[in-house]
Chain A
Amino acid sequence: MKLKLYADRMSQPVRAVIIFCKKNGIDFEEIRVDIAKRQHLTPEYAEIIPMKQLPAIVDGRFKLFESHAILVYLASSFPGVADHWYPADVFKRSKIHSVLDWHHSNLRRGPTTIVRNTVLAPVLGRPLNPEAAAEGEKFLSASLSKIESVWLKGNGRFLLGGNQPSIADLSLVCDIMQLELLGETERNRLLGPYKEVQQWIENTRNATNPHFDEVHKILMKAKEKLQNPRMKGATNEGGGSDMKRTLHSRI
């Protein structure tokens, strides 16, 4: 009864769940559901997960979606998961819930909005939308500011003053990593003012490597393709589909 994980590694919450499983030695079967090809919208997938979302898990007869719920379930159900991921202490645990909830309405909206309206727009068959991207940037900056002033307050290396990562660190950092798709210059412009955030991303990466880098490889490959001048210069009709085809073959 191996855990099944329905996944597309281009999705931030998918990556958080995969990294968590690998780091904690949770045995799972990764089943690819290609978002760019809209496989999550097929009737076949709806048979498994009627809400058609990723990530989703099937553990025996138990099905679950929403990455935070999945991470909490895995931390609570699999032996050998260290307490710091989702502490038994009700005060620490409640604070983690507080971050995860805040994340939905704040940080989560930033990177996704920017990326979907710029570099990933052609891949997703959407028009470029600089105004929406600018809105996303405002969200991102406001959220990063709050992370520095509130969630990273204290002397810990991780959120909430922790010296070990929790599921909240993993979830939020994987979201910020989506900015890699914008290329070094843009990423540095957006993250540059936030030194503590940059350190915390590095701390989370170090605490979960080699899995963090391995799971983010797909994002890095997609970044190279998107930033490749040969691709950028192809503004004729074939250009958009070439990028799409190449990204599909990489994903």
Chain B
Amino acid sequence: MKLKVYADRLSQPVRAVIIFCEVNGIDYEEIKVDLANREHLTPEFAEINPMQQLPAIVHGSFKLFESHAILIYLASSFPGVADHWYPADVYKRSKIHSVLDWHHSNLRCGPITIVQNSILAPVFRSPLNPEAVAEGEKILSAALSKTESFWLDDNRPFLLGQNQPSIADLILVCDIMQVKLVGETDWNRLLGPYKKVQQWIENTRNATNPHFDELHKVLKELKEKLQN
């Protein structure tokens, strides 16, 4: 009963789930569902996830989608997953839920809006939209500001004053990494003001390497392809 992960590594939440599996030694089969070729919109994939989104998992007869729900399920169901990923302590756990919920309406919107209206527009056959990109940058900056001043307030390496990463760190950092697609100059411009955020991204990367770098190779490759 091997876990199946329906994935396109171009997707930020997919990367978070795969990195989590790799770091925690969870045995899985990665099944590619190509977003650019609209494979997620096929009737076959609708059988796996009627919402037709990635990531999705199938574990025996159990199907699940939405990356936060998947990470919670994996952390709760697989032996050997260290407590810091999704603590049993109800206070710590609740704070993680709080970040993950906040993320939906705040940080998550920024990188997607920027990237889908600029560099990824041709890939998804939509028009370039500089106004939308500008909006996305505003949303991202506001979210990074809040992350810097509130979620990373305690000068500890990870969110919520923790010394080790949780699923929240993985999800949020993978989202921010999407901005790498727009190139180093813009990445430095957008992330430049936020020193704690930059350090935290590095901390998360170090805590999950070599898997973090391995999973993010796809962004480098795609960027080079699109620029050539």
Contact = CB atoms under 8 A, between A and B. Distances in A.
Given A51-B146, A91-B62, A95-B64, A146 B76 contact: no
Query: Chain A: interface residue count, which band?
Result: 20 to 34
A66 B149 CA distance: 18
B81 to A, nearest CB: 13
A66 B97 CA distance: 8
Chain A interface mostly: helix
A29 interface: no
Nearest to A105: B104
A134 interface: no
A101 B90 contact: no
Interface in B59-85: 62, 64-70, 72-73, 76-77
B108 to A, nearest CB: 8
B101 A69 contact: yes
Given A66-B102, A94-B73, A150 B50 contact: yes
A69 B68 contact: no
A100 B93 CA distance: 16
Contact of B72 (A94, A102, A146): A94
B226 interface: no
B94 A72 contact: yes
Interface of A: 50-51, 62, 64-70, 72-73, 76-77, 90-91, 93-95, 97-98, 100-102, 104-105, 146, 149-150
A172 B180 CA distance: 35
A97 B68 CA distance: 8
Contact of B94 (A69, A91, A98): A69
A98 B69 contact: yes
Contacts of B126: none
Contact of B65 (A62, A64, A98, A100): A98
The B interface, classified by DSSP as helix, strand, loop or mixed, is helix
What are the nearest 10 A-B pairs in CB distance? A69-B97, A97-B69, A104-B104, A66-B101, A101-B66, A98-B69, A69-B98, A94-B73, A73-B94, A98-B66
Given A65-B102, A72-B97, A105-B104, 11 more contacts: A62-B91, A68-B97, A70-B94, A73-B90, A90-B76, A93-B76, A94-B69, A95-B64, A98-B65, A98-B69, A101-B69
Given A64-B95, A72-B97, A104-B105, A77 B90 contact: yes
Which of the listed residues A69, A73, A95, A98 has the most CB atoms from chain B within 10 Å of its own CB?
A98
Nearest to A72: B97
B102 A76 contact: no
B124 interface: no
Contacts of A67: 101
A90 B64 contact: no
B57 to A, nearest CB: 10
A228 to B, nearest CB: 33
Contact of B50 (A50, A62, A149): A149
B72 A97 contact: yes
11 contacts: A65-B98, A68-B101, A69-B101, A72-B94, A73-B94, A90-B76, A90-B77, A93-B72, A93-B76, A100-B69, A150-B51
Contacts of B91: 62
A66 B136 CA distance: 22
Contacts of A101: 66-69, 104
Nearest to B105: A104
Contacts of B51: 102, 146, 150
Nearest to B104: A104
Give the one of B65, B98, B104, B150 with max A CB within 10 A.
B98
Contacts of A64: 94-95, 98
Nearest to A50: B150
Given A91-B62, A104-B105, A149-B50, A76 B90 contact: yes
B97 A98 contact: no
Interface string B90-122: 110111011011101100000000000000000
A97 to B, nearest CB: 4
